[in-house]
Amino acid sequence: MSEIEVTDDAGLRTIRIARPEKKNALTRGMYGAMAAALRDAAGASTVRAVLITGGTECFTSGNDVGDFKARGDQAADVPSPAREFLAALRACPKPVVAAVAGYAVGIGTTLLLHCDVVYAAENAVFRMPFVDLGLCPEGGSSLLVPQRGGQLLANELLMLGDAFPPATALRAGIVNAVVPVDALMATAEGIARRLAAKPPAAMAVTKRLLRQSGEDALSAHMTEEFARFGALLRGPEAAEAVAAFQEKRKPDFTRFHAAAE
CATH of the domain at 31: 3.90.226.10
* Structural domain includes residue 187: no
Asked whether residue 42 is assigned to any structural domain, the reply reads yes
In order along its 261 residues, the chain shows pLDDT tens digits of 689 999 999 999 999 999 999 999 999 999 999 999 999 999 999 999 999 999 999 999 999 987 766 665 555 555 689 999 999 999 999 999 999 999 999 999 999 999 999 999 999 999 999 999 999 999 999 999 999 999 999 999 999 999 999 999 999 999 999 999 999 999 999 999 999 999 999 999 999 999 998 899 999 999 999 999 999 999 999 999 999 988 999 999 999 988 756
Residue of 61, 101, 73 whose CA lies nearest to 184: 101
pTM as predicted? 0.95
Residue 217 lies in a domain: no
Instruction: Provide the domain limits for residue 123.
Output: 4-181+197-201
In this structure, is residue 237 part of a structural domain? no
Question: What are 86's strand-pairing partners?
Answer: none
Q: Does any domain span residue 261?
A: no
Rounded Cα gap, residues 103 and 70, in angstroms: 23
Give residue 65's pLDDT.
83
Whether residue 91 lies inside any domain: the answer is yes
Dihedral of CA atoms 200, 205, 210, 215 in degrees, nearest 10, equals 120
Count of domains forming the chain:
1
Q: Is residue 20 part of a domain?
A: yes
Residue 251 falls inside a structural domain? no
- What pLDDT score does 74 carry? 57
